[in-house]
Amino acid sequence: GAVVSQHPSRVICKSGTSVKIECRSLDFQATTMFWYRQFPKQSLMLMATSNEGSKATYEQGVEKDKFLINHASLTLSTLTVTSAHPEDSSFYICSAFNSGNSYEQYFGPGTRLTVT
């Protein structure tokens, strides 16, 4: 199956700083990637859809100026959490789908962000 990686797996940052999370499709090209946020014991909430070569599409309630998404190549999307606050502490997961099967998404291992 397709492999998606994320880096870093864990990050601790101070309040007010910015953090960049990378999502890579290792053995396939992904024109579209997705960013989710998951709080403990809760479901995955879609934050935004990242489109290669164009602007990301953000879900309602997600601040596009706070969560900057860049999808500069067919294998890399980045999420930057700007001016992080403790309430941004969460598990951030990216995903992509290979070819036309959008119902079968491949997820990265996730990034645990802790803002102190």
What is the Cα gyration radius of the chain?
13
Q: Binding string to another protein for residues 83 to 112, with x set by CB under 8 A, is what?
A: ----------x-x-x---xxxxxxxxxx-x
Q: Exposure of 67 by Cβ count < 10 A (0-12 exposed, 13-18 middle, 19+ buried)? A: buried
Cβ contacts of 60 within 8 Å, gap of 6 or more:
none
Closer of 78 and 95 to another protein (Cβ): 95
User: Minimum distance between the CB of residue 104 and another protein, rounded to whole angstroms?
Assistant: 5
67 binds another protein (CB under 8 A): no
Which residues in this chain contact another protein in the complex, by CB under 8 A? 32, 34, 41-44, 46, 49, 93, 95, 97, 101-110, 112
